[in-house]
Amino acid sequence: MQHRTHTQQQHPQYDISQQYQAKFGSSSNQNMKNSSKSSQLPKASFSQFIQELIYSHENGKGRTIHLNKLCKVTSIEKRRLSDLFSALCSLDVCSKICSQCYRWNSMKNIDNAIYHIARNLEEHAIMNYQNLNELFDANQSPSVGELSIKLIEVFIFFGESEMSLSVISKLLSPKPEKIKQVLRRIYLA
């Protein structure tokens, strides 16, 4: 009887990065051939997908990401992918180059983006120091990218590492009747 060591696994791990790189690291003809195999592979969670997206694109900066192709290959709803890329664009991790195409920049851009968010917040706070509602007003239906920036601003302004979503939604929606709508949008960001 053989005993398994701690490093051996009973089940092989599914490596999303290999599947993703095989589909997006090759030509588009290769992508089409591989897409039929995707239905046979186990599905990963959305957070695992995001981690693998970052991993694979950080090593290939400047590559173009086609939302429609990505949607077909991963079986992730196009709306969810659009929201994800809206948040990534707001932090300059990628740039929108046409209606369904994005160029990967770098995760290293986040520090600079947060610095600019903090500077803009400081300038806006000085100009509107008496009106907290104007400082955090996210309008009635902000994009996920705009909402991502507003969330960062709230945490920077209050210097907190954790905050209640209901408190944040009240800050971002000065109109009481819009709080639930803003709260639903926060869940997307």
Tens of pLDDT along the chain (189 residues) come to 433 333 333 322 333 444 444 444 433 333 333 444 444 345 668 889 999 999 889 876 558 899 999 999 988 999 999 999 999 999 999 999 999 999 999 999 999 999 999 999 999 888 877 677 778 887 767 788 988 999 999 999 999 999 998 888 888 887 777 788 788 778 766
The predicted model scores a pTM of 0.71
- From residue 114, give the alpha-carbon distance in Å to each of 92, 108, 111, 148: 10, 11, 5, 11
- Encode 59-78: b = buried (16+ Cβ within 10 Å), e = exposed: eeeeeebbbebbbbbbebee
β-bridge partners, 101: 66, 98
